[in-house]
Structure 1
Amino acid sequence: MATRYELHDLGFLLTDSARLLRTAFERRIGEAGLGVTPGEARTLLNIHALKDARQLDIAARMGVEPMTVCSFLDKLQTQGLIERHPDPADRRAKRVTLTDASEPLIAKLKLEIADVLTDACTGLGEEDVDRLRHVLTTLSMNLQAAAAPDQADLS
């Protein structure tokens, strides 16, 4: 088992790597001339990952305030890239879906991400990347489980 110091160091490495990846992605999107800001691009990609999602779910996944997502969604809707529909389960909420017009842009965004990740993984073999994916998935699942309310008290 790793010592507290080694785990602390791991925390810094994870945080720095995530920050550097996000910065590289935002720089590439800004330079690519795709007609969207990095925040709008992240919003589109999160909608794509979630499929049909409520605005609050998109904000939570992105780790930003709902008003920030609302601003991004307004711009994306004006460009015809998304649609908002009433949520049948909650009339106060809106569900967000992609339009067909967003598909070419999402494909370009995925290419930009692939290039950033290729640069980031330079020097790593396929097995290293697979192991990294497994380790990060496990970390994510552990953190999600630790953040979830204790369901045992509800029974």
Structure 2
Amino acid sequence: MPRKLESDTIGMLLTDVSRLLRGAFDRKVNAMELGITPGEARALIQVAVTEGIKQTEIATRMGIEPMTLSAYLDRLEALGLVARVPDPADRRAKNVIVTDKADPLLAELMTGLREMMTAYTDGLGDEGRELLRSSLRILRDNLRRLDPCLAGKEKGTAE
């Protein structure tokens, strides 16, 4: 007889919440009618958070293929929301920055996402939200420190 596994482990809960949040994010971005896709919105947020890093690093942080990111950035660049600039340390590489034109869109996007997260974290209260955020930071930092596949590849915070 197959063994029933526990479904409320930290890993299972994080996986389930991550999947549900991604779907909610996609629906929220689509409902806001910002003129960009959910993937482009994720890329724009990541560029704003990590301004000035290489495209390959952004793709790694987002967990997507560099070609997928390139397509998102091509569209965002065509809309005037991001720019690719030469990397001062590597003339072959391009860093990505947010343009001033993106500021109003980012503000609207982040307001909508904050409203969404406030609703989804209802019942936690401010102290509970901060405890969750703090606990997730510790988990993220431990993963980066202890997982040899991640060691040295990521710094700072992501989406």
Q: Compute the TM-score of the two structures, normalised by the length of structure 2.
A: 0.86
Report SS of the residue matched to 1:100: coil
Identity of aligned residues (%): 46
The equivalences for 1:45-124 within 5 A come to 45-124=45-124
For residues 113 and 96 of structure 2, the distance between their equivalents in structure 1, rounded to whole angstroms, comes to 23
Cα distance change of structure 1 residues 49 and 141 upon mapping to structure 2, 3 Å threshold: same
Shift in Å, 1:88? 2.1
- Contact 1:25–1:112 (Cα < 8 Å) also in 2: no
Shift in Å, 1:8? 7.0
Give 5+ residue unaligned stretches, structure 2. 153-159
Task: After superposition, give the CA deviation of every residue in 1:91-123 in whole Å (9 maximum; x if it has no partner).
Answer: 221111111000000001101210221111011
Amino acid at match of 1:123: G
**1:9 alignment partner in structure 2:** 9
Give 5+ residue unaligned stretches, structure 1. 150-155
**1:126 alignment partner in structure 2:** 126
Task: Kindly report the root-mean-square deviation, in angstroms, between the aligned alpha carbons of the 2 structures.
Answer: 1.6
- Contact 1:29–1:38 (Cα < 8 Å) also in 2: yes
Shift in Å, 1:10? 1.5
Higher relative contact order (CA 8 A, sep 6+): 2
- Contact 2:59–2:69 (Cα < 8 Å) also in 1: yes
Q: Count residues in correspondence.
A: 145
For residues 8 and 25 of structure 2, the distance between their equivalents in structure 1, rounded to whole angstroms, comes to 26
For residues 92 and 8 of structure 1, the distance between their equivalents in structure 2, rounded to whole angstroms, comes to 47
For residues 142 and 74 of structure 1, the distance between their equivalents in structure 2, rounded to whole angstroms, comes to 34
Amino acid at match of 1:78: A
